[in-house]
Structure 1
Amino acid sequence: MSFVVASLEDRIDQALSMGALEQALQLVANAEQQQPQNAGIQHRFGVVLMRLNRAHEAFAKFSGAIRLNPLSVDTRMALAQSYMAMNDGWSAAAWVSDACRVAPNNPAVWGQLAQLLASQKRDSELEPALRSGVAANPDSKMLVEALAEYYLNRKRYTEGLGVYEKLVPMDPRDTKNLLHFGFCLEHTHRLDDSVARYRESLAVNPDFLEAHVDLAGVLWRLADYEGSLHHARRAVEIDPNHPYAVRILGTALLHLNRLDEAEVQLRRALALKPDFPIAIVDLALLLLLAGKFEEGWQVYERRWTDTDRMNRPAFFRPELEWQGPLKQPVKGKRIVIYAEQGLGDVINFIRYAKVLQDDGATVYCVIQPELVPLVESMPGVIGLKPNLNIEADYHVALLELPLHYRTNAGNAPRETPYLHAPADKSAEWREKMKKWDGKLKVGIAWAGHFIHANHHNRCMPLSEFKAIIEMPGVQCFSLQKSDGERYTDMAVDEDQLVDFTGDWKDFTDSSAMIDNLDLVISIDSAVIHLAAAMGKPTWVVLPPNPDWRWLLDREDSPWYPTMKLFRRGHAEPKAAQMARVITELKAQKKALMARQGALV
């Protein structure tokens, strides 16, 4: 009897493979009459009915099969398929999940569960499912890769890193996984390791465009500007019309201050892909750096299309967004300025609060909490924390204001000081720093926030300040609140570099300390904006490719009258740049000390 059934099953399978569905249906119906309790035949009956698009009937057959063979993984998967055909994805996922329970060492079943959960956007269940699948099948490249890509796609780079460390050795020549491993390394600030993975990917496939693009993007962060340009050019050679390749070529040229060439490439990238937010911002910043303010501000207004990096506040209402003084005069109106970027940007552009006040507005500022007390030193300005709301006639993003007031390098509101330290705190710090009277008090900062994408351009080893710290007649004070230890490459006597930053509670403390300094020397960070906004002499040690607001080829700043810019060529070492700072400091020391009434 078993021989007959086996023969029927073979004939059914053969008919299915040939697409003879009606013949298969007749065969399976006959087989069911002979063996109504045979789970295999019930299962095949369901398969034939599914092929005939009769999902409800198929479901009944699969249900019978699972009762006869409760441990069948194939029938569980078939039940899931029938539920999908009946538009019941949740029940389908439940059956696949049960198949994983029955056969935990079957990677394909876990892979199917992951696909179903992902398609149903059940993210909270997807990660545990993938982790369980990998735990049960640690040698399954498919599952490990799925978990790695889960983290990558959600920008959870630290977690993704650990998975890629297991995945890449499974197939060291898989260029896609090498690329993604490098991407995770790059976004966890392991830039040298990231470069190594990108190069490994290119060693396998020298024409891998994406690897050239990503390698070009990370090399400029390591100050290898020519290397960045080389790989950007190679990417464009591989595909001259690939918008990401053209854009990275534009940025590589931009980082070399080759602005005319960079502008051509960035405009071409946008011609190839008009909805390209990061290229829009790149072009805007290039135009501003070049001093083409009118067009630069207009292009920069499109930065809001970059939803990965830019987000409006919760209280944002399009109809209340201010359209500028010509279209919407603010006399007698209440207007909320809201921060959109970093602390330095707020300090730099909060100057426009006074411009709005001069036009007759009542000004509220929704900014970072640590800046609220400082900003309220501006007469009449009301600072609010981001989680607070207020009824107002208009609101406006802080960096929209230069556009609305048609700001250029010649008409920027430049009057300082516009921020002030609290008088009582300034007096306290004066007393605290009194013991160094008679010396030139210089505040220094040598590193910006480590997580900043442009961090390599916003830091330098503390040893570069050694000659300033040890200069006779000069007393240095640290203005380095955080991340400085990464670049503290020399032991410093605490009497030579006094560090009071542990006593700072907010920006009113740092402003009060700065108020009692004679000079601030720093890399490009929030510190220099604060010092210059207070009218303090401020020297900025700039990288070869400076932030747009410092423009090119000038020692003064269009934003701050007390600021001096120390520039550096791409081939010039930092030590040579700092030597010019030191020479200038020596030349200015007597005058600066005399200005403060100190003894030389």
Structure 2
Amino acid sequence: MLKKLSFVRLLVICSVWWTIPNPVLAQALLPHTLQLDTAKLEKQGLSLAQEAASLAQFQQYELALPRARLAVQLAPNNDRVWFLLGSIHMQTKDFTNALSALQRAQTLNPKNHQVQFALGSLHFQQEKYQTALTYYQAGLRLQPNDANGLFDLGNTYYMLNRYQDAIAQYRKSIAQNAKFWPAINNIGLVLYEQGDIQGAIKKWQESIAIDKRAAEPMLALAVANYIKGDRQQSIVMGEQALKIDARYGDLDFLKQNLWGQKLLGHAKQFLSLPRIQAALEAGNRQ
């Protein structure tokens, strides 16, 4: 399972207006100088950023982006505003502009661990795992106990086939948040690729015990049990998982959620079963 970026709340946009006085008859027209209040402009920029963040939370990126762009013009020295702009660019897959904005945020505040994590995520999404690793490690040096950062670092090790390092980071993440089932789930993904099917099953059972509507470990468990020969119960569980979230019936989506080659191969068999196909069709009609 992959992850996430946090945003801020709604405020209003303000405008700066000025008027030019009417000239007096037979009097020279004096030039009018606009006095800019930089503190006020920055405040307006932060308000605008908060509005952009609120829109981004509801995935209204086309509306959020111009507000975020204007916000960085009004508050160019605020790293959080640049972070927001970079995050929105990331959500729209505009990785070039995302990198530029996030690097600006990093320059303004090298100690903002969230910027380091965002840069890690940016490179992870582009499959530049070694670079992502560097940024996640930098973020964790600033915030060592961040459960999400530890999880993301574990995912990066996993994609580099450094399985033991991945499991170690997932366990550190769980130590910070015992109910963080995605990290438990991903230990199962690693174990399955290593051939430890029973160990993987145990982790997916633990994940479901934490969240009974977690579709991913539910489907993974169904696939693993089906391969082991528990056909009937596995199909029932698979149907339930796909009813919760039909996206897990798409092999590309499973790959994006870090399902490895062994599990993907077995999932392909499982998803081709007539009853599972019927469950997918029913889900798509909803």
Tell me whether the two structures share a fold, i.e. TM-score over 0.5.
Answer: yes
Q: 1:143 aligns with which of 70, 81, 87?
A: 81
Instruction: Determine the C-alpha separation between the residues in 2 that align with 1:217 and 1:138.
Output: 33
Q: In the alignment, what sits opposite 2:30?
A: none
Q: CA offsets, 1:162-195, max 9 Å, x none?
A: 3222222333332222222211211121111111
Q: Does 1:171 align with 2:109?
A: yes
Q: Does 1:111 align with 2:49?
A: no
Alpha-carbon spacing, 1:189–1:173, altered in 2? closer, same or farther (3 Å): same
Alpha-carbon spacing, 1:545–1:300, altered in 2? closer, same or farther (3 Å): closer
Q: CA offsets, 1:484-530, max 9 Å, x none?
A: xxxxxxxxxxxxxxxxxxxxxxxxxxxxxxxxxxxxxxxxxxxxxxx
Instruction: Determine the C-alpha separation between the residues in 2 that align with 1:100 and 1:193.
Output: 46
Q: In the alignment, what sits opposite 2:143?
A: 205
Instruction: Determine the C-alpha separation between the residues in 2 that align with 1:251 and 1:544.
Output: 10
Q: Does 1:127 align with 2:44?
A: no
Instruction: Structure 1: state its 5+ residue gaps.
Output: 1-88, 312-339, 343-451, 458-542, 552-558, 560-600
Query: Following TM superposition, by how much is the alpha carbon of 1:138 offset from its aligned partner in structure 2, in angstroms?
Result: 2.9
Query: Following TM superposition, by how much is the alpha carbon of 1:305 offset from its aligned partner in structure 2, in angstroms?
Result: 3.0
Partner secondary structure for residue 127 of structure 2 = coil
- The one-letter code of the counterpart of 1:180 is A
Instruction: Determine the C-alpha separation between the residues in 1 that align with 2:217 and 2:257.
Output: 16
Q: In the alignment, what sits opposite 1:421?
A: none
Alpha-carbon spacing, 1:133–1:179, altered in 2? closer, same or farther (3 Å): same
Query: Following TM superposition, by how much is the alpha carbon of 1:131 offset from its aligned partner in structure 2, in angstroms?
Result: 0.8
- The one-letter code of the counterpart of 1:134 is V
Partner secondary structure for residue 139 of structure 1 = coil
Q: In the alignment, what sits opposite 1:548?
A: 266
Q: In the alignment, what sits opposite 1:407?
A: none
- The one-letter code of the counterpart of 1:138 is P
**Higher gyration radius (CA):** 1
Query: Following TM superposition, by how much is the alpha carbon of 1:112 offset from its aligned partner in structure 2, in angstroms?
Result: 0.9
Q: Does 1:285 align with 2:202?
A: no
8 Å CA contact 2:45–2:73 kept in 1: the answer is no
**Mapping of residues 476-555 of structure 1, within 5 Å:** 547-548=265-266
- The one-letter code of the counterpart of 1:547 is G
Q: In the alignment, what sits opposite 1:156?
A: 93
Partner secondary structure for residue 249 of structure 1 = helix
Instruction: Structure 2: state its 5+ residue gaps.
Output: 1-9, 19-35, 274-286
8 Å CA contact 2:49–2:68 kept in 1: the answer is yes
8 Å CA contact 2:174–2:184 kept in 1: the answer is yes
Alpha-carbon spacing, 1:168–1:278, altered in 2? closer, same or farther (3 Å): farther
Alpha-carbon spacing, 1:454–1:137, altered in 2? closer, same or farther (3 Å): closer
Instruction: Determine the C-alpha separation between the residues in 2 that align with 1:222 and 1:123.
Output: 32
Q: 2:15 aligns with which of 98, 101, 126?
A: 98
Q: In the alignment, what sits opposite 1:247?
A: 185
Partner secondary structure for residue 298 of structure 1 = helix
- The one-letter code of the counterpart of 1:303 is L
Query: Following TM superposition, by how much is the alpha carbon of 1:196 offset from its aligned partner in structure 2, in angstroms?
Result: 1.4
Instruction: Determine the C-alpha separation between the residues in 1 that align with 2:122 and 2:145.
Output: 21
Partner secondary structure for residue 15 of structure 2 = helix
Partner secondary structure for residue 71 of structure 2 = helix
Q: In the alignment, what sits opposite 2:134?
A: 196
8 Å CA contact 1:114–1:129 kept in 2: the answer is yes
**Mapping of residues 284-433 of structure 1, within 5 Å:** 284-301=222-239, 302-306=241-245, 309=247
Query: Following TM superposition, by how much is the alpha carbon of 1:289 offset from its aligned partner in structure 2, in angstroms?
Result: 4.1
Q: Whose strand fraction is larger, Structure 1's or Structure 2's? A: 1
Q: In the alignment, what sits opposite 2:208?
A: 270
Query: Following TM superposition, by how much is the alpha carbon of 1:235 offset from its aligned partner in structure 2, in angstroms?
Result: 1.9
Give the TM-score of the pair, scaled to structure 2: 0.68
Alpha-carbon spacing, 1:112–1:269, altered in 2? closer, same or farther (3 Å): same
Q: Whose helix fraction is larger, Structure 1's or Structure 2's? A: 2
Q: In the alignment, what sits opposite 2:25?
A: none
Alpha-carbon spacing, 1:549–1:109, altered in 2? closer, same or farther (3 Å): closer
Query: Following TM superposition, by how much is the alpha carbon of 1:141 offset from its aligned partner in structure 2, in angstroms?
Result: 0.9
Instruction: Determine the C-alpha separation between the residues in 2 that align with 1:146 and 1:547.
Output: 38
Q: CA offsets, 1:267-306, max 9 Å, x none?
A: 1112212232333333333334444333333222223533
8 Å CA contact 1:157–1:187 kept in 2: the answer is no
Alpha-carbon spacing, 1:262–1:310, altered in 2? closer, same or farther (3 Å): closer
Q: Does 1:231 align with 2:166?
A: no
Q: In the alignment, what sits opposite 1:519?
A: none
Query: Following TM superposition, by how much is the alpha carbon of 1:247 offset from its aligned partner in structure 2, in angstroms?
Result: 2.1
Give the percent of matched residue pairs that are identical in Structure 1 and Structure 2: 14
Partner secondary structure for residue 260 of structure 1 = helix
Alpha-carbon spacing, 1:297–1:165, altered in 2? closer, same or farther (3 Å): farther
Partner secondary structure for residue 76 of structure 2 = coil
Query: Following TM superposition, by how much is the alpha carbon of 1:157 offset from its aligned partner in structure 2, in angstroms?
Result: 6.0
8 Å CA contact 2:52–2:68 kept in 1: the answer is no
8 Å CA contact 2:61–2:92 kept in 1: the answer is no
Query: Following TM superposition, by how much is the alpha carbon of 1:128 offset from its aligned partner in structure 2, in angstroms?
Result: 0.8
Give the TM-score of the pair, scaled to structure 1: 0.35
